[in-house]
Structure 1
Amino acid sequence: MPALPSCLLEPVWDQFRALLPDRDEFDPNHPLGCHRRRIPDRVVFEHVVQALVHGSGYERISSPGCSDRTIRRRVKLWAQMGISQALHRIALEAYDRMIGLDLDEISVDGCITKAPCGGEKAGRSPVDRGKQGLKRSVASDACGVPLGIVSDGANRHDSPLLGPTLAAAKEQTGAMPEAVNVNLDRGYDSIKSRALISELGFSAEIARKGVPAPIQAGKRWVVERTHSWMNDYGKLRRCTERSGEVVDFYLYLAAALVTLRMLIRRSTSRYRWDGRPNTRRLK
């Protein structure tokens, strides 16, 4: 059984393949010219998707045609090339062209997940008895489309990640409208956060400390829903990667899948095309 339905896997692979460099089937530097054939990128990509969805180790998802070492080498290469970030930008461009990004209202929030193997982006989790954890800060539009992602240790406060998260959102979308309202929870209720928002020329709706959160939920609930969607992927719930580049690779790959799923679900009521999915369950 495939890890993703074909209506999600095939469009993502088509764009992913276009971002890959052309490489020979055999290694041209081999002295005898008879090196083993290179494992096709499509085979490795399907194994990477399985690792993302199920959160399994590479040894468990490896097959006779694709070893765990091959998966690790290819993921490291793709992460260094920034392919998942480029794939996410393509998904955002398609969504903006067909549906339209609502950038007038942006919500930012952080989420702490497990990182049992430690690594460059891990830290002591304040909500998991000091175990190693990962924090991701996500900015979303008014409908919950993930725009920018920043990862850091679980012991990092949300407020210092606000600036890098908004900068990542601007880099992925290309431009921001003149009037932007940023919706934040009370973890961002500080002088530095308000000064940063003013410096960027944005307005902010920040929940106040000491006031019950449900009363101030406002418009920022969409980013919490986005975190919930991203936590459907096992590699994000329990990240065992130690390299920061690989962690960001999986984060942006999941964000691209979330964006594409939202695009398909919102397009079914506006457009008609061959192979249009007839179910709302696009995991």
Structure 2
Amino acid sequence: MRASPWVVSDELWERIEPLLPRRERRFRYPGRKPLPDRDVLCGILYVLHTGVQWEYLPKELGFGSGMTCWRRLRDWNETGVWQRLHEVLLAELNAASRLDWSRCVVDSSHVRALKGGNHTGPSPVDRGRAGSKHHLITDGHGTPLAILLTGGNRNDVTQLLPLLDAIPPVRGRVGRPRRKPDALFADRGYDHDAFRDQVRERGIVPAIARRGTRHGTGLGIYRWVIERSFAWLHGFRRLRIRWERRADIHEAFLRLACCVLTHRQLGSLC
């Protein structure tokens, strides 16, 4: 019988547990014993997968209250747990030669932000409604390398260099950690010669479609992987619409989702 997607497997928990901050219990007046981190993480994943509001998190499943899960998600994100977990998973993929460094692919996707908040803006593709953009960079197989959150009115090309800078140093192989692909593929939204030059200065070959040219240039046979990655990413219902006013909470969900997708890639090795 297949386990529910919000159940944390033993393999994933072995990677997460050493990264979680330790909470020292007070000697005097210790109060109620805190809920185990693994149970709380299951609750966070339940919200990520189903999109349910925090206050409606079913307590009968043993996740604790929605506020407890919200606080742990906030605290773990502030201490960099999801970023470190992502780097651990990428290193394991790299050690198994399952990261394609010959190219990377960048793109963005718009989501509505029904409650507003930081990193939102009037979307030009949604009649000026408030929205946010998910900016994603993947390797040649579609494995997430980094993700950024901006307002819905930010131009895609402005996040090209920040995405490249956000790729962490990936270990797992002999020599220096790697954080730079050989080539970069992007659509016409990133067509700007000044940015092409800056990409070249970093030792990366830009393969960016130009505006005004006919479709069918052949870049699609490499770029389709990021469309699939966005489909995977927005398969998490909590990410289809931004419900959080606080940008850091939505970013925490984004980073956690990238970790889950990367772990799935790692699971395909078994």
Q: Which residue of 2 aligns with 1:20?
A: 20
Q: Which residue of 1 aligns with 2:174?
A: none
Equivalent runs, 1:120-199 vs 2, <5 Å: 120-171=118-169, 174-176=177-179, 180-199=182-201
Rounded Cα–Cα distance in structure 2 between residues aligned with 1:59 and 1:18:
29
Is 2:90 aligned against 1:92? yes
CA deviation after TM superposition for structure 1 residue 61, in Å: 1.2
1:259–1:56 CA distance, 2 compared to 1 (3 A)? same
Rounded Cα–Cα distance in structure 1 between residues aligned with 2:223 and 2:195:
16
CA deviation after TM superposition for structure 1 residue 94, in Å: 1.1
Is 2:207 aligned against 1:232? no
CA deviation after TM superposition for structure 1 residue 262, in Å: 1.7
Q: Which residue of 2 aligns with 1:38?
A: 34
Rounded Cα–Cα distance in structure 2 between residues aligned with 1:2 and 1:142:
30
Rounded Cα–Cα distance in structure 1 between residues aligned with 2:132 and 2:58:
26
Q: Which residue of 1 aligns with 2:44?
A: 48
Q: Which residue of 2 aligns with 1:278?
A: none
**Runs of 4 or more consecutive aligned structure 1 residues displaced over 6 Å after TM superposition:** none
Is 2:250 aligned against 1:254? no
Q: CA RMSD in A?
A: 2.2
TM (normalized to structure 1)?
Answer: 0.84
What is the DSSP-based 3-state SS (H/G/I as helix, E as strand, rest coil) of the residue aligned with 1:219? helix
Number of matched pairs: 261
1:170–1:19 CA distance, 2 compared to 1 (3 A)? closer
CA deviation after TM superposition for structure 1 residue 247, in Å: 2.0
Percent of residue pairs bearing the same amino acid type: 31
Is 2:70 aligned against 1:72? yes
Q: Which residue of 2 aligns with 1:245?
A: 248
Q: Which residue of 2 aligns with 1:274?
A: none
What is the DSSP-based 3-state SS (H/G/I as helix, E as strand, rest coil) of the residue aligned with 2:59? coil
Rounded Cα–Cα distance in structure 2 between residues aligned with 1:59 and 1:81:
25
What's the CA shift string for 1:150-184, capped at 9, x where partnerless? 1111111100000110111144664245x711111
Gaps of 5+ in 1: 269-283
Q: Which residue of 1 aligns with 2:104?
A: 106
Q: Which residue of 2 aligns with 1:279?
A: none
CA deviation after TM superposition for structure 1 residue 14, in Å: 2.3
What is the DSSP-based 3-state SS (H/G/I as helix, E as strand, rest coil) of the residue aligned with 1:121? coil
What's the CA shift string for 1:37-94, capped at 9, x where partnerless? 1122112111100011111111111516611221221111111111111111111111
1:172–1:239 CA distance, 2 compared to 1 (3 A)? farther
Moved more, 208-217 or 55-64: 208-217
Q: Which residue of 2 aligns with 1:63?
A: 59
CA deviation after TM superposition for structure 1 residue 136, in Å: 1.3
